[in-house]
């Protein structure tokens, strides 16, 4: 891959990560993810954000740096907007190659440099309003944006070239290949990255919507020409496209959300699945759109993305050994962690010799503050009467999600 010029002084370096590894040790990345770093050249040279030693990323970084006549040892300043190891994992080796580099981060970021990498020298804590003068009329300023999504995060602003470096903010999953700019991708590709952007947001940032909104308010004061995140597309034609998307996603925390239903189901021997078909017919007859995910067959990463944006949730699962179906218990735990609160919800499911999931399910969803319809449980295969009730419950859920439907 090649280095990409953003302006006469600003360059983007990126490495595409294609690996069976799980992002953050949890989330699948079957379509890869990019690690983006940036070079800003004045009389002195700054690099903004780094990489980890992951699928050859440091070698890619060094090779692209060399293509504009630079080596690691030539870097005067390393600005770290965010200390998560996917952006800093190569820091100790980088410092060994360039012992004179000055590392800049927020005060909390500097603490993480010390604890993660045992580096004690050449550190500078910065705060909102501080300026790094690179000479040649090139200056970088800093804006603290705590809890997007770690407490040490910040944005870096190049006012001359109107580039905002945002690290995890406004990023997405998905590898880029040899294109990085929004105007280099077609409509179908943008739809893909939008889907991966929602999944990235729901998986990584969802718990911190209030702080995302605050960060967006700070960014809105700037005359932005380019949004340069550390994962995903660099936005130059429509620089605020992903900012608007993140604003919408942050709004899902309190609403409004999409008038859709996320159907999450698991079945042991087909009895719950059969009952689900009746509930789905009820939803379809009202006309409310729905997405559907079977667990544990589908990873919770995609389940979470659809649940996060949807006003309604339908849980279909059997009782398992007197309790909640174990894969569904994990899903509910993730939904609680990621603040999927205040949805319209319905739970249905079969049991064998005796029920028991109902009570545990109610305890699990109590922190979610869901507005729940009455659960429907049945022994063994659903009877015609049960199927009729499930159909009616599906309709009721759909009407609760979108009361304007006939």
Domains and CATH numbers, the chain: 4-251 (3.60.15.10), 259-400 (3.40.50.360)
pLDDT single digits (tens) 356-398: 899 999 999 999 999 999 999 999 999 999 999 999 999 999 9
| Mean of the per-residue pLDDT values of the chain | 97
pLDDT of residue 356: 85
High-pLDDT (> 90) share of the chain, %? 98
What is the average pLDDT across 69-76? Answer: 97
pLDDT tier for residue 406 given thresholds of 50, 70 and 90: confident
Instruction: State the CB neighbour count (10 A cutoff) for residue 154.
Output: 29
- Can you list the alpha helix ranges (DSSP code H) found in 252-318? 271-286, 300-309
| Residue 32 contacts residue 17 (beta carbons within 8 Å) | yes
> What's residue 70's pLDDT?
97
Q: Is 79 helix (H, G, I), strand (E, B) or coil?
A: strand
217: how many CB neighbours lie within 10 A of its CB?
10
The vertex-254 CA angle with 248 and 259, nearest 5°, equals 70
The pLDDT value recorded for residue 278 is: 98
| Residue range 2-61, pLDDT digits in tens | 999 999 999 999 999 999 999 999 999 999 999 999 999 999 999 999 999 999 999 999
Vertex 389: Cα angle to 383 and 395 (nearest 5): 140
pLDDT of residue 353 exceeding 90, the answer is no
Q: For the beta carbon of residue 14, count every other beta carbon within 10 angstroms.
A: 28
Q: Answer yes or no: is pLDDT of 355 > 90.
A: no
Which residue is it, tokens 């001359």?
Answer: 160
* pLDDT for position 1: 81
366 CB-near residues (< 8 Å, 6+ apart): none
302-to-67, 113, 134, 296, 308 alpha-carbon distances in Å: 38, 33, 43, 12, 10
pLDDT reading at 139 higher than 90: yes
Q: How many residues are listed for the chain in this entry?
A: 406
244-264 confidence digits (pLDDT tens)? 999 999 999 999 999 999 999
Task: Kindly give the interhelix angle for 326-337 and 300-309, rounded to the nearest 10 degrees.
Answer: 50
pLDDT at 354 over 90: no
b/e burial code for range 42-59 (CB count within 10 A of at least 16 → b): bebbbbbbbbbebbebbe
Query: What percent of the chain clears pLDDT 70, i.e. is strictly above it?
Result: 100
- Provide mean pLDDT across the span 94-120: 98
List of residues 6+ apart from 338 with CB closer than 8 A: 202, 203, 206, 207, 304, 308
What pLDDT band is residue 326 in, cutting at 50, 70 and 90?
very high
Beta-carbon count within 10 A of 91 CB: 22
pLDDT given for residue 294 in this prediction: 98
Global pTM exceeds 0.85: yes
Q: Are 269 and 242 in contact (CB under 8 A)?
A: no
293, burial (CB in 10 Å: exposed 0-12, middle 13-18, buried 19+): buried
């Amino acid at each position: 891959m090649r280095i990409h010029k953003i302006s006469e002084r600003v360059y983007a370096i990126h490495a595409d990560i294609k690996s069976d590894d799980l992002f953050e040790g949890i989330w699948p990345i079957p379509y890869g993810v990019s690690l983006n770093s940036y070079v800003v050249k004045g009389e002195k040279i700054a690099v903004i954000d780094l990489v980890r030693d992951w699928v050859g990323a440091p070698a890619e970084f060094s090779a692209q740096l060399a293509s504009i006549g630079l080596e690691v040892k030539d870097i005067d300043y390393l600005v770290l907007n965010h200390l998560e190891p996917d952006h800093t994992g190569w820091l100790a080796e980088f410092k060994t190659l360039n012992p004179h580099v000055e590392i800049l981060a927020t005060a909390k970021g500097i603490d993480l440099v010390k604890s993660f990498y045992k580096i004690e020298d050449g550190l500078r804590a910065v705060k909102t309003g501080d300026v790094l003068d690179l000479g040649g009329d090139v200056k970088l300023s800093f804006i603290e944006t705590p809890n997007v999504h770690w407490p040490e995060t910040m944005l870096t602003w190049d006012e001359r070239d109107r580039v905002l470096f945002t690290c995890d903010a406004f990023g997405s999953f998905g590898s880029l290949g040899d294109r990085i700019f929004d105007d280099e991708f077609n409509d179908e590709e943008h739809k893909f990255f939008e889907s991966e952007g929602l999944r990235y947001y729901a998986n990584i940032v969802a718990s911190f919507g209030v702080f995302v909104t605050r960060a967006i308010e700070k960014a809105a004061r700037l005359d932005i020409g380019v949004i340069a995140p550390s994962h995903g597309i660099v936005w130059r034609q429509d620089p605020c496209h992903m900012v608007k998307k993140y604003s919408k996603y942050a709004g899902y925390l309190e609403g409004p959300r999409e008038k859709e239903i996320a159907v999450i189901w698991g079945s042991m021997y087909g009895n719950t699945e059969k009952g689900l078909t009746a509930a789905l017919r009820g939803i379809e007859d009202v006309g409310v759109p729905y997405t559907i995910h079977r667990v544990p067959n589908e990873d919770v990463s995609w389940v979470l993305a659809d649940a996060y944006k949807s006003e309604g949730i339908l849980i279909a699962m059997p009782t398992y050994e007197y309790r909640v179906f174990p894969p569904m218990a994990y899903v509910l735990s993730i939904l609680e962690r990621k603040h999927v609160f205040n949805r319209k919800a319905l739970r249905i499911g079969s049991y064998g010799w005796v029920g028991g999931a109902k009570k545990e399910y109610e305890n699990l969803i109590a922190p979610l503050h869901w507005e729940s319809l009455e659960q429907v449980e049945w022994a063994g295969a659903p009877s015609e009467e049960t199927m009729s009730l499930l159909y009616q419950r599906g309709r009721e859920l759909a009407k609760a999600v979108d009361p304007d439907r006939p």
